[in-house]
Structure 1
Amino acid sequence: MDNSLQSLDQVRASALDMAVRFGPKLLVAVIILGIGYMVGRWVGRFLEHLLVRLNLEAPVRSLLVRVARVLVLGLFAIMALQNLGIELLPLIAGLGVAGAGVALAMQGILGNVAAGLTIIFTRPFHVGDYISIVKEEGEILEISLFSTTLGHTDKSRVVIPNRKIVGEILHNCGQIRQLDIAVGVSYGTDVDVALSLVEEILHANPRVLREPAPVIGVARLAESSVTLRVSPWVNVSGYEAAVGELNKTILETFRARDIAIAFPQREVRMLGSSA
């Protein structure tokens, strides 16, 4: 019984000694972490206002703000550990070795992150733009650190890793696209009348934009027809519908005005032979 009481007294004495020795340091470490949390929030708010001025997308702003807060809190955590007397050099060396191994195992992911940051800060395209790249095209639906998502008119989605985008030739149409409709009329057609009708059709269609002005003219002189070029501008969302509407209206209008839409034809002459 006396031995048990003696052991309990020793434990109490040791605990009291550790509290006296490390209690103030632990309190200071907690205070440092609290200050780091507050500074991280302030840095996050400041960075948020800065990124809003740079017109970055909301998901990207949120991610960068979180990263900044974590970095600030990590810096103050290191200060707190140093205050407790913990040796950081062996810990940092170990983390460095582990980090190198992780980096080798995650080359593809890290490559996507680096490419994502490049896209975020260089801004070659924005959400809502229509782009063509790496044999894919579509409307930008989402930009993240790891990938970029394109939307097609058939409601499907294409997810492209960011490392496949950076360094490639990019065709960015913005938020409008130009149609390229070719109409072949016979050589006997009054071209001025046909072009005037096309201009009226474009003006009546609500999907066709007034600015930029549509491009209308004679594209080429083919074997069996005069090819008219009809190239108005429309919003990305109305591209497919506008193609169908304009083709249908042009066909009906030309039929009503007796303008023949040419088709491939050949003239064959039979030469008689004398007996």
Structure 2
Amino acid sequence: MTFDFDLFNLDAWNALLLQLQSLGVDFGLRLLGAAIILVVGRWLAKQLRRLIKRLMTPTTIDPNLIAFTSNLAEYGLTAFVILAALGQLGIQTTSLVAVLGAAGLAIGLALQGSLSNFAAGLLIVFFHPFRVGDWIEGGGESGFVEDIQLFTTVLRRLDNKTVIIPNNSLTGGNIINYSTKGILRVDLVVGVAYHEDIDRVKRAIAEALAQDERILSDPPPMIGVLELAESSVDFAVRPWTHTEHYWPVYFAAYENIKKKLDAAGITIPFPQRDVHLYPAPKAEAV
């Protein structure tokens, strides 16, 4: 802004004062707007940090990771607020945003795998597809969840080996949670000889299952003919039990059924084939 100014001209001084007053009012309004943006923005950033802490605290995530995540969200929103306040003051922030964007892109590319695991960890924390103590199958592994971290999930396999799985491997595929409903169906197959009476076999199997108190009566076990196999009539045996009793019931059920069938004189056949021998044709006399 340019204007002619005469040092000894009263009108020039009045014009200068009017110009300064106009500039002062304009800058004051801009400064007031920037201050409001900073105050409100900082308040929102703090509320965001508290919200994230409140959502993540009931989980089993390490407190240090909770603090890191909440602070990261607060600082990110604060940086955005500062840029908005600078823009309100009339400061060009385009080049600054470009530099920050380029730096963020470089860091993102360098940490692509870690960031994807971080995002997957947040999804697990917020949507709870499983919790600590659940028996799950995912990422090519099966076991009990011992710890849920922002980048990895720790499983204890059934053979008591510890497996650390990247969170992205879990959320990127199917997750089977065996603990969600609290009960599981145990799928067994029992084969008996073809000459055995079907109803008698079903009663014997039902009596064997009734010996185990861990097997639930509601829902009741299902017993029925599954297949007419080559050497046996195969029965599908489907008892229900609580999740923590699945494997003990699985092994005990087979043992009890075998003992009950033996006591009832019911034959459990082994694979067999009938071989028919025919005499070789006699050679014709020459």
Smaller-chain TM-score bracket: 0.5 to 0.7
- Is the Cα–Cα contact under 8 Å of residues 135 and 177 in structure 2 kept in the other structure? yes
Unaligned runs of 5+ in 2: 1-37, 86-90
Q: 1:138 aligns with which of 143, 147, 166?
A: 143
Change (3 A) 1:121 1:71: closer
Unaligned runs of 5+ in 1: 1-31
Specify the code of the residue in structure 1 equivalent to 2:215. V
Shift of 1:150: 2.3
Change (3 A) 1:106 1:44: closer
Does the residue aligned with 2:209 lie in a helix, a strand or coil?
helix
What does the per-residue CA deviation read over 1:2-36, in whole Å, with 9 as the maximum and x for residues that have no partner? xxxxxxxxxxxxxxxxxxxxxxxxxxxxxx9xxx8
Change (3 A) 1:63 1:211: farther
Change (3 A) 1:57 1:208: farther
Q: Distance in 2 between matches of 1:233 and 1:56?
A: 32
- Is the Cα–Cα contact under 8 Å of residues 231 and 271 in structure 2 kept in the other structure? yes
- Give the alignment of 1:83-232 within 5 angstroms: 96-173=101-178, 174=180, 175-232=182-239
- Is the Cα–Cα contact under 8 Å of residues 56 and 120 in structure 1 kept in the other structure? no
- Is the Cα–Cα contact under 8 Å of residues 48 and 61 in structure 1 kept in the other structure? no
Corresponding residue of 1:241: 248
- Is the Cα–Cα contact under 8 Å of residues 48 and 73 in structure 2 kept in the other structure? no
Q: Distance in 1 between matches of 2:258 and 2:120?
A: 47
Shift of 1:69: 4.9
Q: 1:250 aligns with which of 222, 233, 257?
A: 257
Q: How does the TM-score come out when normalised to structure 1?
A: 0.67
Change (3 A) 1:44 1:75: closer
Shift of 1:223: 1.5
Does the residue aligned with 2:223 lie in a helix, a strand or coil?
strand
Corresponding residue of 1:15: none
- Give the alignment of 1:14-53 within 5 angstroms: 40=46, 51=55
- Is the Cα–Cα contact under 8 Å of residues 220 and 239 in structure 2 kept in the other structure? yes
Corresponding residue of 1:265: 272
RMSD: 4.1
Change (3 A) 1:44 1:105: closer
Specify the code of the residue in structure 2 equivalent to 1:57. T
Change (3 A) 1:108 1:119: same
Change (3 A) 1:133 1:264: same
Q: Distance in 2 between matches of 1:200 and 1:208?
A: 12
Change (3 A) 1:205 1:88: farther
Mean Cα displacement is larger for which, 95-104 or 180-189? 95-104
- Is the Cα–Cα contact under 8 Å of residues 60 and 120 in structure 1 kept in the other structure? no
Does the residue aligned with 1:182 lie in a helix, a strand or coil?
strand
Mean Cα displacement is larger for which, 69-78 or 99-108? 69-78
Shift of 1:157: 2.1
- Is the Cα–Cα contact under 8 Å of residues 182 and 229 in structure 1 kept in the other structure? yes
Q: Distance in 1 between matches of 2:59 and 2:219?
A: 27
Q: How does the TM-score come out when normalised to structure 2?
A: 0.65
Does the residue aligned with 1:137 lie in a helix, a strand or coil?
strand
Instruction: Flag the structure with larger Rg.
Output: 2
Identity of aligned residues (%): 35
Specify the code of the residue in structure 1 equivalent to 2:106. G
Does the residue aligned with 1:240 lie in a helix, a strand or coil?
helix
Corresponding residue of 1:58: 60
